[in-house]
Structure 1
Amino acid sequence: MANGEWFAQLYQKSYRSLVLTAYALLRDMGEAEDVTQEAFAVAYGRRARVARAESPEAWLRTVVVNLSRRRWRRRATLDRIMRKEAEEPAPEVFGEHLDLHAAIRRLGDEYQAAVVLHYLADLPVDEVASILDIPVGTVKSRLSRARTALAAQLRTEEVQDA
């Protein structure tokens, strides 16, 4: 396989999942895409190391999580200084599942991250636990509570729309 071909395949295979990981932490699609691009730029600069990694996607995910956390801390600090809340992502970002994404955004931060990483980024529970740095049982509990809350929210919206 050509030198750049494996990297292009890694990008194709991993991009969406990594954006969702960043989105789970940042709750801003534009920033999530920026962080993911930055992670791929870092990986490209260190492609020899990434190529030797047991799981290049896991290596990238670690970079995405670290960059997202750094960006979130910077944004939180700036928001405190400016005394204004961070903006919600534009509804058009979510397309056909607008109601579901709106309901997910109404969950608490800890529940949002678990739901996005597990159900949207399709990561196993143990990997979600590793990314969020919490026990597997806590992830399972948050997912269960989030499902209950989402079901209630979506049922209420369905009744209101009828």
Structure 2
Amino acid sequence: MLLNSSRLNKALEVTDDVRLAKKGNKEAFCRIIESNKNQLYRIAKGIVHFEADIEDVFQEATLKAWLQIKTLKKDEYFKTWLIRILINECNTILRKRKSVITLEEVSFTESEDLNINEKLDLWNALNSLSDEYRTVVVLFYYEDLPYKDIAAILKISEGTVKSRLSRAKAKLEEILNFAVKGE
């Protein structure tokens, strides 16, 4: 019961901060960004990978959110709205970049039990997915977001989320099986 009460209080604080931020209160806006920055960082890292790009994406998304916060219709959807802005910025960077990730820039923090070749294969396979598939994989597997939240963030149905996730897994399996057979 105490845990639910704590979550409710935090949710109310965030909603209050959103209301204040919509009225131009920079401190309230900064508190919201600060409370979400780790998740935003992980999402950006999962999509754009390069530290410099992650910083650019974070700054651009934060600036856009600040400039457009008055357009937010429902305060309780601030986090979903902010993640959507971040993903759009990630996609903008990817469209501009369209380059191959080099081994030196790869940092493996997930699944430490895999050997370096398996990690590299997985990393390359993930990068070979289209933006729409890679984004769903990052949000579901790296951020542990439920289908409902992913659907809200991406403005698609839960069925589409499940479909993209299924197709992404099939594509990853195909790529990884090819990598194993090709060696």
Structure 2: state its 5+ residue gaps: 1-12, 14-25, 110-118
CA root-mean-square deviation: 3.9
Where 1:95 maps in the other structure, the secondary structure is coil
TM-score scaled by length of structure 1: 0.62
Residue in 1 that maps onto 2:3:
none
Say if 2:80 and 2:149, in contact at 8 Å, map to a contact too.
Answer: no
Task: Give the Cα–Cα distance (whole angstroms) in 2 for the partners of residues 56 and 131 of structure 1.
Answer: 10
Q: CA 1:149–1:55 in 2, change beyond 3 Å: closer, same or farther?
A: same
Question: How many residue pairs were aligned?
Answer: 147
Q: 2:145 aligns with which of 107, 110, 123?
A: 123
1:8/1:159 Cα in 2 relative to 1: closer, same or farther (>3 Å)? farther
Query: How far apart are residue 146 of structure 1 and its match?
Result: 1.4
User: Can you list the C-alpha shifts for 1:28-71, whole angstroms capped at 9, x where unaligned?
Assistant: 53323311133345667899xx9xx4365335324323444555
* TM-superposed deviation, 1:144: 0.9
Query: Partners of 2:89 and 2:128 in 1: how far apart?
Result: 24
Deviation at 1:141, TM superposition (A): 1.0
Alignment-derived partner of residue 88 in structure 1 = 100
What is the Cα deviation at residue 101 of structure 1?
1.5
Within the alignment, does 1:103 sit opposite 2:125 as a pair? yes
Percent identical: 33
Query: Cα–Cα, structure 1 residues 40 and 109, in superposed 2: closer, same or farther, change >3 Å?
Result: closer
143, 151, 154: which one aligns with 2:173? 151
Residues 150 and 161, structure 2, Cα contact 8 Å, conserved in 1: yes
Higher relative CO (Cα under 8 Å, sequence separation at least 6) belongs to: 1
Contact kept, 8 Å, 1:28 with 1:88, in 2: the verdict is: no
- Quick one: structure 1 residues 86 and 17, their matched pair in 2 at CA, closer, same or farther if it must change by over 3 Å? same
Residues 1:44 and 1:109: Cα distance change in structure 2 (over 3 Å): closer
